[in-house]
Amino acid sequence: MAKQLSAQSDLKEQHVVFQENQRGVNFDKLFGPYLAGAKRIVITDPYLRMFHQQRNLMELLETVSKVSRPEEEVAVHVVTVEDEFNGDKQTENFQKMADACTSIGIQFSWAYDKTGTKHDRDIMTDHCWKIVLSRGLDVFQRFELNDAFSFTNRMQQHRQCKEFNVTFIKVA
């Protein structure tokens, strides 16, 4: 536990900018330190409709799993907007994520915002970090999702990014 505590004390408020086509970005390095130790995480992103956006969410859940202690449960709640054309498939994918998370100590839940006013994207933790996401989790350029032998498919750091920025804020 001491390692996690020292990692938390090393965190700082910052604003990070990523360039179009930049490589070397992965959720483990970018978000992992700020998610470590959290027991409750709320992700707000109205644009988790398409498969690749949901895959990015699943990859963030993998990061949560990597930075969490195996004996402790983490609740991850997503607030998004239901896809008006493919809502059934979207719900099915979220349910698959929830089912997968059950076996690794993550309590995954989601809700569809019905107000029609959600636009901002962020991640809030119960240990007072707010991560403001300019593009949500949709930060990677298109790549071949079905090629199991492509490094861009298997490892985020080999993917090209879209231009985006992330702001880390400590909230009371």
> What is the reported pLDDT for 9?
65
CA distances from 27 to 67, 116, 140, 172 (A): 11, 28, 11, 25
Beta-carbon count within 10 A of 69 CB = 12
Spatial separation of the C-alpha atoms in residues 74 and 61, rounded to whole Å: 10
Q: Is residue 129 part of a domain?
A: yes
Q: Is residue 43 part of a domain?
A: yes
Q: Is residue 104 part of a domain?
A: yes
Q: Is residue 145 part of a domain?
A: yes
Best CA proximity match to 106, nearest among 63, 76, 79: 76
Q: Is residue 20 part of a domain?
A: no
Estimate the crossing angle of helix 51-67 against helix 87-102, to 10 degrees: 20
Total tally of structural domains belonging to the chain:
1
Q: Would the pLDDT of 5 be above 70?
A: no
> What is the reported pLDDT for 142?
87
Q: Is residue 158 part of a domain?
A: yes
> What is the reported pLDDT for 168?
98
Which residues constitute the domain of residue 120?
39-164
CA distances from 159 to 19, 26, 27, 38 (A): 13, 9, 12, 27
Query: Mean pLDDT of all residues in the chain?
Result: 92
> What is the reported pLDDT for 3?
38
Give the mean model confidence (pLDDT) for residues 91-112. Answer: 97
Question: CATH number, domain at 109?
Answer: 3.30.870.30
Hey, is 13 helix, strand or coil?
coil
**133-159: pLDDT as tens digits:** 999 999 999 888 788 898 988 899 999
Q: Is residue 29 part of a domain?
A: no
**12-61: pLDDT as tens digits:** 999 999 999 999 999 999 999 999 999 999 999 999 999 999 999 999 99
Q: Would the pLDDT of 66 be above 90?
A: yes
Give the mean model confidence (pLDDT) for residues 58-75. Answer: 96
CA distances from 45 to 1, 10, 22, 89, 130 (A): 31, 27, 23, 17, 13
Best CA proximity match to 9, nearest among 132, 133, 172, 129: 129
> What is the reported pLDDT for 8?
59
> What is the reported pLDDT for 13?
98
